[in-house]
Amino acid sequence: MAAMHPTDTTAQRRALQRRVVRVLALGQVLGGVGVGATLALGALLVTEVSGSPAWSGMAATMNTLGAALLAVPLARLARARGRRISLSTGAVTAMAGAGVTIGAAVLTSFPVLLLGLALLGAGSALNLQSRFAATDLAADDTRARDLSLVVWSTTIGAVLGPNLFVPGELLGRALGLPELTGGFVIALAAQAAGALVYLTALRPDPLLLAVAEGEAAGTGRPSPAGGLAVLRSSAPARRAVLTVALSHAVMVALMSMTPVHLTGHGASLGLVGLTISLHVAGMYALAPVFGWLADRVGRRPVVLLGQSAFTASLVLAWLAAAAPALVAVSLVLLGLGWSASTVAGSALVTEAVPPAERPQLQGVSDLFMNLAGAAGGALAGPVLALVGFDGLSAALLVLVAVVVLLHRGRQPAPVA
């Protein structure tokens, strides 16, 4: 792909970046419907098929484990073929996951169900990669904002998705499918639409264009080093990746307990969907605010703000586990903490290394982020079974994240 001509103006460059962000945002809306429509249903379906609530955390675990396993291959595909091919491949893989999950429910097969949920993790992996795609052509002073706008766009689909539980069940019954599978039919259709958007509209490819410009200037030739090698060579990169991973683990651990905890206390499926919708709104709705703050006051202060929201959420979950309304408030705070920490933390990841090494590091960051989330989800079920809805069990992770952030008193200047 040819680099932009030297006479291209800054206005033209920014117009191209705005178009890229709009395409990514549309894809995120569709992907958000796919993820949101299955977020809480996965935990309930696992409980139904396995026959035990102790396995409920495996829904989030397999989803995040699948996203982790796919993060590096999708990043490598992006570096080799561009974001367009990588993102559409992720959407097609998520479609396959939805189909396998429906088949597992029909067969009442727990192992096949876990496989389907893992493949569905591709939807989460491509959502994460989309936020980094928004930074490929971004200006230094708007990088966090552009990233946050793509994160924010997930709000529409992700909030709508959990509220499609009831229509999804009607659709599932009309198709003769088992209970709790209608939402996965909706997810399959949404991911198909997302794949079409990426394939047809993400032209020119932002990553390929950025690489071509760098090669033409002699400064941006892709690094042969793998993501782990990049991580080992950069202390700022290690701190940024660890911060994002720990924050994701806190969110997944508490969120994955909530559907089973609420239904165990007599909450309806509609109330569970509303609670998860409020949580997802907290995750995405204020992302542009956190992106703007990160560009203005710095990345690390915004991450610390997110850790403060986590702390408030965990304490409230501990004190008010028997009150569904307060559990919903706790989940909103949990979402806000994740939003601030992920938006600002992702900007730290991108700026920790030179542009030629960013795709590799971004893939490894998503790998560790999802592995941490998988661990949090795996522990959620046993914690729920042994000690109940205990938010303080994740407080240690918040403390570690804060210590990591405060390890250096001065934030390094962003890498252009």
**Which CATH number belongs to the domain containing residue 371 in this structure?**
1.20.1250.20
Q: Is the pLDDT of residue 139 over 50?
A: yes
Average pLDDT of 286-307?
A: 93
Q: Considering the domain boundaries, does residue 112 fall inside one?
A: yes
Q: Is the pLDDT of residue 276 over 90?
A: no
Q: Is the pLDDT of residue 219 over 80?
A: no
Average pLDDT of 379-385?
A: 60
20 pLDDT band, cuts 50/70/90, is very high
Q: What token pair was written down for 123?
A: 């939807």
Q: Is the pLDDT of residue 4 over 70?
A: no
Q: Considering the domain boundaries, does residue 413 fall inside one?
A: no
Q: Is the pLDDT of residue 100 over 80?
A: yes
Q: Which of 325, 327, 332, 328 is nearest to 310 (CA)?
A: 332
Q: Which of 127, 128, 38, 67 is nearest to 371 (CA)?
A: 67
CA-CA distances (angstroms) from residue 202 to 17, 111, 154? 11, 36, 17
Q: Considering the domain boundaries, does residue 415 fall inside one?
A: no
Give the pLDDT score at 7.
46
Q: What's the full length of the chain, in residues?
A: 416
Rounded CA gap, 346 and 351, in Å? 9
Count of the separate structural domains present in the chain: 1
Rounded CA gap, 283 and 287, in Å? 7
Lowest mean pLDDT segment, chosen from 284-298, 343-357, 385-399: 385-399
Mean pLDDT of the chain: 82
Q: Is the pLDDT of residue 409 over 50?
A: no
Give the pLDDT score at 198.
96
Q: What token pair was written down for 272?
A: 């569970």
Average pLDDT of 279-302?
A: 91
Q: Considering the domain boundaries, does residue 5 fall inside one?
A: no
268 pLDDT band, cuts 50/70/90, is low
411 pLDDT band, cuts 50/70/90, is very low
Rounded CA gap, 188 and 186, in Å? 5
Q: Considering the domain boundaries, does residue 60 fall inside one?
A: yes
Four-point Cα dihedral 391, 394, 395, 397, nearest 10: -160
Q: Which of 347, 118, 74, 406 is nearest to 227 (CA)?
A: 74
Domain span holding position 234? 10-405
Give the pLDDT score at 6.
47
Rounded CA gap, 118 and 141, in Å? 37
* Contact yes or no for 347/300 (Cβ under 8 A): no
Give the pLDDT score at 39.
67
Q: Is the pLDDT of residue 223 over 70?
A: no
Q: Is the pLDDT of residue 390 over 60?
A: no
Average pLDDT of 116-124?
A: 89
Q: Considering the domain boundaries, does residue 1 fall inside one?
A: no
Q: What token pair was written down for 274?
A: 């509303």
Q: Considering the domain boundaries, does residue 129 fall inside one?
A: yes
Lowest mean pLDDT segment, chosen from 13-22, 318-327, 345-354: 318-327
Q: Is the pLDDT of residue 410 over 50?
A: no
Give the pLDDT score at 340.
95
Give the pLDDT score at 88.
95
What percent of the chain clears pLDDT 70, i.e. is strictly above it? 81
* Contact yes or no for 270/165 (Cβ under 8 A): yes
DSSP string, 101-136: HHHHHHHT-HHHHHHHHHHHHHHHHHHHHHHHHTTS
Give the pLDDT score at 158.
66
Q: Is the pLDDT of residue 351 over 60?
A: yes
Furthest-apart CA pair in the chain: how many Å?
65
Give the pLDDT score at 144.
92
Q: What token pair was written down for 84?
A: 């367009």
Q: Is the pLDDT of residue 99 over 90?
A: yes
Helix 39-50 vs helix 269-284: crossing angle, to nearest 10: 140
Q: Considering the domain boundaries, does residue 82 fall inside one?
A: yes
* Contact yes or no for 252/121 (Cβ under 8 A): no
Q: Is the pLDDT of residue 92 over 50?
A: yes
Give the pLDDT score at 312.
87
Q: CB neighbours of 89 closer than 8 A, spacing ≥ 6?
A: 74, 77
415 pLDDT band, cuts 50/70/90, is low
* Contact yes or no for 348/340 (Cβ under 8 A): no
Rounded CA gap, 411 and 186, in Å? 44
CA-CA distances (angstroms) from residue 138 to 20, 204, 207, 212, 356? 10, 14, 11, 15, 15
What radius of gyration do the chain's Cα atoms show? 20
205 pLDDT band, cuts 50/70/90, is very high
Give the pLDDT score at 19.
93
Give the pLDDT score at 412.
46
Lowest mean pLDDT segment, chosen from 31-40, 195-204, 302-311, 347-356: 31-40
336 pLDDT band, cuts 50/70/90, is very high
121 pLDDT band, cuts 50/70/90, is confident
Burial class (CB in 10 A: 0-12, 13-18, 19+), 390: middle
Rounded CA gap, 165 and 187, in Å? 11
Q: Is the pLDDT of residue 101 over 60?
A: yes
